[in-house]
Structure 1
Amino acid sequence: GVSHVLTLALQELSLLCKRDVNGVGTLYDLLRSRWLQALLKIYECLQHYLRKRPDPVTLQARALSREVVELLHQAPQSGEIKELRRLLRSPHFKALLSAHDTVAQKDFEPTLPPLPDNIPENEEAMRIVCLVKNNQPLGATIKRHEITGDITVARVIHGGLADRSGLLYAGDKLVEVNGVPVEGLEPEQVINILALSQGTIMFKLIPVSDRPVSNQTTLYVRAMADYWPLQDPAIPCADAGLPFKRGEILQIVDQNDALWWQARKVSDLSACAGLIPSNHLLKRKQREFWWCQPFQPHLCLKSSMFACMPDVFSSTVPLPHPAGFRRSMRLCRRKARLNQQSCYSRCPSSCYSTLAAPYEEVVRYQRHPTDRHRLIILVGPAGVGVNELRRRLITSNPQEFQSATPHTTRVQKSYEMNGREYHYISKETFENMVYSHRMLEYGEYKGYLYGTSIDAVRTVLDAGKICVIDLEPQGIQIARTHELKPYIIFIKPPSIGCMRQTRKNARIITDYYVNMKFKEEDLQEMEESAKKMEAQFGQFFDHVIVNDNLQEASAQLLSAVHRAQDEPQWVPAVWICSDNQP
């Protein structure tokens, strides 16, 4: 058995181990470990069990039990006999024996139909394939050959019934299905025969001469668009399609078809794979959809290149303003949010998103303790409390968390210190930083420029701290680099009814430095803005927090930030490839 082979291997390795051969000592210790030997013994017992199928000793255990009870009634009574009678007459034991008899008398093996006797001698190449459905789909699609008109197997779905059987292959020509000849039938008619089949399906087919050899490597991608197969008239089989939403991680298991890949969701790897459009096909669908849309004025997301949101739960006690929390910086962002924007920043179905890749290859990444921390980006609509959550996170542990110090072109005030509230630079220097793409966000307020630079973020990360910033969604693409490896958290508002309660005494900051109470239209605008953010940028969000309770949301944020640094996460594959390049 396996244990005997392991013993012989240990004897051979013990000789090599004394010679200090590289790696042999480790392998020797592994094979000698108690847990491995116990595991192999369990494996041998299971194999022995499978080889000797247990057969029931009797098919009438319940009747046998009644006979024993009668014999015990006639026997001299003792404590042991009374206890045995009580056990045999108990309802639970009777139910157990009844279940035993039911299972023992039932044949669970599938009943396959007999092979036809009238197979012509000239049909040596034909093959008879019988599959047991067991209330599960076949897991294969069929098509009509463009030249010969034959009905052939178009594809076998990975993990489906046909794939697990190993008896059907793409390219096999169908001759009969359950005794019905398929010559002259349409593919839809054959599908109807398969759908009405119960128990077993018998195929008479001519095997494909060259069976396809699958040398596919598993690929993981993040969906950057939504897909609903039931709404796609071009899909070969809508029931075999895999619906997905933007942001979901998919495992691509087959790319042999140039138009239709096979994939399954990482959240359910045990499920059968489904059909999804290939990268080329889905991108073409996106372009066709965009071009056929009628022109509409841009009435969607009011946003800008700036990120900081008004402080939802503002305090009545004056507090010092750490870097990135000054009111002028936040008002600058608020003003820029109302300005006219480009097509990309205003329209969820913009040309930018149309030209973007529908899938993004991803890999599992876990930060090494010696690596720099990942940048934490908070995103959310105005008034949802992004700024307050960021402030609470940083003040909870200033030695661990810090915000990036913004840049400005305004004059430094007497009580300010360069590099603490702001980095004070000239307008020319600021514009050069913008032109060289060193700004994550920027804008103008009262004639002065404000912005947060990549250099400021890098300074915090180089100091060994976790940099926490908030951005407008349009700045996400600039920040998504292999150097910063941002972890993006979307702060989502609760329902309108919940906001009416939680924001009773809250204030929103206006352009006139007046703390105004939230109005009903402010809450509605917040909800609509959040929906548009999710619709346009939801694929970039690594985590979502609903801010229905500030204290609970703060605790969730702290937990999410630590998970981003310490646990494996899905990140774009180019980030890791860039790190490995010399």
Structure 2
Amino acid sequence: MAESFEGNENGFEEDFEETMVEEFRQRFQLSDKVIGRGAFSVVKLGQEVETKRNCAIKVTDLLKLQENLDLNAGDLLHEAEIHLQLKHPYIVEMIDSYYMSGKMFMIFEHMEGEDICYEITSRANDGYSYCESVISYFMKLILEAVNYCHERNIVHRDIKPQNILMAFQNTKSPVKLNDFGIAVQLKDDELCTPGRIGTPHFMAPEVVLRLSYGKEVDIWSVGVLFFLLLGGTLPFNGSGDALYETIECGIPENNAPVWDIISDDAKDLLSCLLKYDTNERVTAAEALQHPFIRNFKNCSKTHLQESVNEMIKFNNSRRFKKYVSNAVSVKTGAVEDKEDENKYQVNCSIDTMTVSELSENLFESLAEIHQLSGASIENFSVLKSVLSNPQIKAYLKIYDKLHEPLTVEENIDKGDVISKVMEDCNGSQVEVPEKDELLKILSKPHFSGLLWCMDKISNNYDSDADLPQNNSTVSFDDSDKIFVRLVEFDKSPNTRLGMTVKMREDKRCHVVRVMHNGFIHQQGTIHIGDEIIEINGIVVSHLTPSKLRQIMLSLSGKVSFKIIPTTRQSPQSVQCYLKSQFTYNGDNDDSMPCQHLGLSFTIGNILEVVNTDDTKWWQARHINNPESVGLIPCPDLREWTYCRPTSKKNSHSWLNNFLNKKKHSKETYEADRSSDFDVFDIPSYEEVMQVNLCKRKTIVLLGANGVGKRQVKTQLIKSSPIKFASPAIDTTRLPRMGETPGKNFNFLSKPDMLRKIEDREYLEYRSFEVEKNQVEYFGISYDAVRTVHEDGKIAVIDVEPSALKVLRNKEFLPYVVFISPPSFDQLGSLCDVSVFSKKGKSDEMITRIIRDSQKIESQFQHYFDLILHHENVEATVSELISAVDQTQITPQWIPVSWIY
């Protein structure tokens, strides 16, 4: 019965697929014209049979997609399910989708134009005006498309120029929103799971900070796109962590001259779209009612040539990245910060290009370099001269020729060929010494044997009958042609190999790790990926993992390995320095693949990373102990560990799932741990470098309220007023007798200060209810800190720890000092008077100060440069001055982002 049912089911699947194929052929006609090509997909021009309307048919090879990106048909069906329900004039229509013969066919309406930025510069070059009226029209269409999605609880999550396409190539063409590959449809009041997804430059702060988020992320992305349309540049620049830090600050770079002629309405809409607080950020429906959108016909008609010039540079930068990506044959799926090959989101792959063709491609791309900001004319000329050198081109062509596969004629009897050559030589009337020498060589049996071997190799000869018999049998795949290498060396009993092997399910043993500076690494004979066949004559495929481990540990004296060398390239050496932001005990980590290889460290240790080939466990060593190479968890593994689910069913299941890259069910997280996400990213590592001189510009005093920070700050400035100063504090309270405006306080009206708060001009601000229904504000502005720096002094500020995420950069160069409380008895005499002026110095409040200090230290210790145990004001200040002086004369380890 079981066999009968299985046969019926397979028959049903075959009949269903035949029906799908027949339906597809009846509805669509697929041409050979390729619109775009990618690593896993190809987009061809098609036509609807009934309407004769052109369409774009995207064909995705699901087998390749799953092998390379761990995606499957379900992921593409999810995209199709969302896209098919969207029927809007300003959204690229998905007509239908089919799953046939291991391929996914997705049919879209055909878009004749390019993406919005390319079309804008193209039309401007043709003489058409580009002004705020045009931008308002484009924004209206984009917002209507986004609003339509949001009304259906669909979050796009990847709005960017590449996904805003022109329907036609005429000047009246509308723009349409495209690519719902990572879109998600939420339930009412549901939020997206925290995580960085999308294109980095267009990510909202809540996405960068890995917080839960909703539809507001699309509004932020639209704001970034609006900024680009107005000024021709992106509001947040950089890459990697530096880019994420600028987004976290939420202050766009709009200092270009073009912004002087941008209207107030446009700037106001931009500020509404790029509100840092999601509760204050406008919705798409609200943005459509903004005067800049509602009255687009009345917007400025002034041509924005400067914006067009900047957008040309932006487009050339994207195009140059694509050329370089092509030139190095990068095969990608959907990679962050890579320019899309075409408007249908299929990435490029040019496996068939030769090296010489790639060099030509790169040479042609150099024509765009001079358009990019900051391009070096000298470097451009040097590289251009090298790539255009005829001799270099000739060498590259020779290289290509040498690496072409040999074309071998089959079924040719080489014996007959030799006989023919010898017959011709004997019949020749020319008498030269070379003829006799050739005949002598051809008549030797060794030469005939050599030709026979070459024939068998070139024709992939493989016959077990001709091979010598051997009692030891090793199972190989007959389709693989292999080379076996014998490795021998002497090893003392106490020397560790420094190599990790893994026995796979098919009984094949592979080298998965070689420790840097270990015995095997120094030998240089065995590499990651090599397959081990025998150890000292013992066939490893017959061994259990425990027996293999026992043999590996007992090796000494004369040791031999038979291995099949890997075809993969050896990993390049890596050298970078990390400052640890957490304490780790490698000896007690059950997830460590090799217990004795774990490298322990504490917060603040400087580690030199020497190998990152393993995606989960990196090799590193302490800078003061070069021989201490060990394994440390990579940042992703550290983050996974920190955020592990609260489920107690299996204490190790979370790690096993991570290491095996399984998909996980949705889990809840501890509330107190989740609150940490609101403060900072998960403590992991920070890339640092050593500099000989780094004069800190800001001293940041941290500590619990009442621990004595104000006393330390006052005494520090008093001890050297020409060196230290406190920024003037903005306040809405009235001046008191003897206070001079601008000295310690800047007295502002409440509307002025509230406006500055809304414009995010404050590093930190607070409000106090001085009387019933009367609130006064106090704040430290960025400009006040900058004023102290401009006077050549070190700014001393007392802020909450959360302010560190905007202070820790190369502008403020902070020196972070934590004021640690003394004993319970000593604390009462040191506490700030203001804290106890109303309630007195109770034991309960002193206990609260100690508890708050411990909490701050546990959460932010990895950012501390100095911890001062505060027992005496004079002694504390003296120690602080000495430490600051040392930073100006001794080498320091500082974040790389402060340098570049």
TM tier, smaller: 0.5 to 0.7
Q: How far apart are the structure 1 equivalents of 2:667 and 2:873?
A: 44
Distance of aligned partners of 1:133 and 1:530 in 2 relative to their CA distance in 1, 3 Å threshold: farther
- Cα distance per residue 1:159-207 (max 9 Å; x no partner): 223223333322233345566553333434433344455x647242315
- Shift in Å at residue 364 of structure 1? 2.4
> In structure 1, how many angstroms separate the alpha carbons of the residues matched to 2:707 and 2:559?
61
Q: Distance in 1 between matches of 2:859 and 2:597?
A: 28
SS for the counterpart of 1:516 is: coil
TM-score (norm 2): 0.41
Correspondence list, 1:567-578, <5 A: 567-577=890-900
Q: Give the Å deviation of 1:474.
A: 1.3
Q: Which residue of 2 aligns with 1:162?
A: 520
Partner of residue 599, structure 2: 242
Q: 1:202 aligns with which of 559, 566, 570?
A: 559
What residue number does 2:101 align with?
Answer: none
Change in CA separation of 1:435 and 1:203 when aligned onto 2, cut-off 3 Å: farther
Q: Measured at CA, do residues 576 and 444 of structure 1 come closer, stay the same or move farther in structure 2, by a change above 3 Å?
A: same
Which amino acid in structure 1 is aligned with residue 507 of structure 2? G
Task: Give the SS at the match of 2:854.
Answer: helix
Give the alignment of 1:3-18 within 5 angstroms: none
1:526 aligns with 2:885: no
Which one is further off, 460-469 or 508-517? 508-517
1:243 positional shift: 3.3
User: Is 1:286–2:674 an aligned residue pair?
Assistant: no
> Is contact 1:153–1:170 with CA below 8 Å preserved after alignment?
yes
Q: 2:827 touches 2:846 (CA, 8 Å); kept in 1? A: no
Superimposed CA distance per residue, residues 4-57 of structure 1 (whole angstroms, 9 cap, x where no aligned partner) = xxxxxxxxxxxxxxxxxxxxxxxxxxxxxxxxxxxxxxxxxxxxxxxxxxxxxx
Whether the 8 Å CA contact 1:160–1:272 is kept in 2: the answer is no
For 1:414, the equivalent position in structure 2 comes to 737
CA distance in structure 1 between the aligned counterparts of 2:691 and 2:755, rounded to whole angstroms: 34
Is 2:614 aligned against 1:257? yes
For residue 627 of structure 2, give the secondary structure of its aligned residue in structure 1.
coil
CA contact (8 A) 1:137 1:161 kept: yes
1:250, 1:266 within 8 Å by CA — same for their partners in 2?
yes
Conserved in 2, the CA contact under 8 Å of 1:407 and 1:450?
yes
* Distance 1:404-1:351 versus aligned 2 partners, 3 A rule: same
Deviations 1:205-255 (A, max 9, x none): 315244743323312223344444456554422332223444433222112
Tell me what 2:788 maps to: 460
Which stretch has the larger CA shift, 153-162 or 209-218? 209-218
Question: Which position in structure 1 is the counterpart of 2:805?
Answer: 477
Contact in 1 for aligned 2:801/2:860 (Cα 8 Å): yes
Q: How does 1:143-182 map to 2 (within 5 A)?
A: 143-146=502-505, 148-177=506-535, 181-182=539-540
The residue identity in structure 2 corresponding to 1:457 is: V
Structure 2 counterpart of 1:376: 699
Asked whether the 8 Å contact 1:487–1:564 carries over to 2, the reply is: no
Q: Which residue pairs with 1:562 in the alignment?
A: 885
Within 5 Å, give how 1:332-347 maps onto structure 2: none
Question: In structure 2, do the counterparts of structure 1 residues 469 and 134 end up closer, same or farther at CA, with 3 Å as the change threshold?
Answer: farther
Which residue, out of 537, 545, 565, partners 2:860?
Answer: 537
Change (3 A) 1:380 1:131: farther
How far apart are residue 408 of structure 1 and its match? 0.6
* Aligned residues of 2:495 and 2:519 also touching (Cα < 8 A): yes
Per-residue CA distance 1:357-397 (angstroms, 9 max, x = gap) = 733322224446xxx75211111223333222222221111
Aligned residues: CA RMSD: 3.4
Question: Does the alignment pair 1:142 with 2:142?
Answer: no
**Alignment of 1:513 onto 2:837:** yes
Contact 1:401–1:466 (CA<8 Å) still a contact in 2? Answer: yes
Q: Is 1:276 aligned with 2:632? A: yes
CA contact (8 A) 2:789 2:795 kept: yes
**8 Å contact kept, 1:287–1:355:** no
Structure 1 residues 531, 267: closer, same or farther in 2, change over 3 A?
farther
The DSSP-based 3-state class of the residue aligned with 1:450 is strand
Q: For the structure 1 residues 418 and 153, does the alpha-carbon distance in structure 2 shift closer, same or farther, using more than 3 Å as the test? A: same
- Name the residue aligned to 1:183: 541
The C-alpha deviation readout for 1:397-425, integer Å capped at 9, x for no partner, is 11111111211111112321001121111
Q: Which moved more, 1:558-567 or 1:131-140?
A: 131-140
TM-score by length of 1: 0.61
Quote the residue 2:484 is aligned against: 125
Contact persistence 2:727–2:785 (CA under 8 A): yes
User: How many percent of aligned residue pairs carry the same amino acid?
Assistant: 29
Which of 419, 444, 449 is equivalent to 2:777?
449
Q: Deviations over 1:473-532 (max 9, x none)?
A: 1111121122111111222224x4xx42x3464454356735834x44344333322222
Q: Supply the distance in 2 between the matched residues of 1:435 and 1:238 (Cα, whole angstroms).
A: 53
Q: Is the contact made by 2:821 and 2:827 (CA closer than 8 Å) also made in structure 1?
A: no
Give the number of the structure with larger relative contact order, counting CA–CA contacts within 8 Å between residues 6 or more apart.
1
Worse-matched range after superposition: 399-408 or 427-436: 427-436
Cα distance between partner residues in 1 of 2:835 and 2:563: 77
User: What SS is found at the alignment partner of 1:154?
Assistant: strand
Match of 1:487 among 809, 815, 821: 815
Contact 1:373 1:465 in 2 (8 A): no
Partner of 1:310: none
Is contact 1:367-1:373 (8 Å) kept?
Answer: no
> In 2 relative to 1, CA 133–548 (structure 1 residues): closer, same or farther, beyond 3 Å?
farther
Structure 1: tracts of 5 or more residues without a match? 1-117, 299-346, 578-582
Distance 2:537 2:642 in 1: 44
Q: Which consecutive residues of structure 2, in runs of 5 or more, have no partner in the other structure?
A: 1-469, 475-481, 647-665
Q: In 2, Cα distance between the equivalents of 1:130 and 1:144?
A: 23
What is the identity, as a one-letter code, of the residue corresponding to 1:388?
A: Q
Show CA shifts across 1:458-485 (max 9, x none): 1111111111112221111121122111
Is 1:546 the counterpart of 2:869? The answer is yes
Q: Which residue identity is paired with 2:883?
A: A
Equivalent of residue 718 in structure 2, options 372, 391, 395: 395
Query: 2:433 — aligned with what?
Result: none
Q: SS where residue 619 of structure 2 aligns?
A: strand
2:571 alignment partner, SS class: coil
1:288-321, Cα deviation, whole Å (9 max, x unpaired): 347856544x6xxxxxxxxxxxxxxxxxxxxxxx
Q: Contact 1:171–1:207 at 8 Å: present in 2 too?
A: no
Between the aligned partners of 2:765 and 2:589, the Cα distance in structure 1 is: 41
Partner amino acid for 2:717?
Answer: I
- Please state whether the residue corresponding to 1:430 is helix, strand or coil: helix
Answer yes or no: is the 8 Å Cα contact 2:576–2:608 preserved in 1.
yes
Q: 1:400 to 1:271 in 2, by over 3 A?
A: same
Aligned to 1:76: none
Once the 2 structures are TM-superposed, how far is the Cα of residue 450 of structure 1 from its aligned partner? 0.7
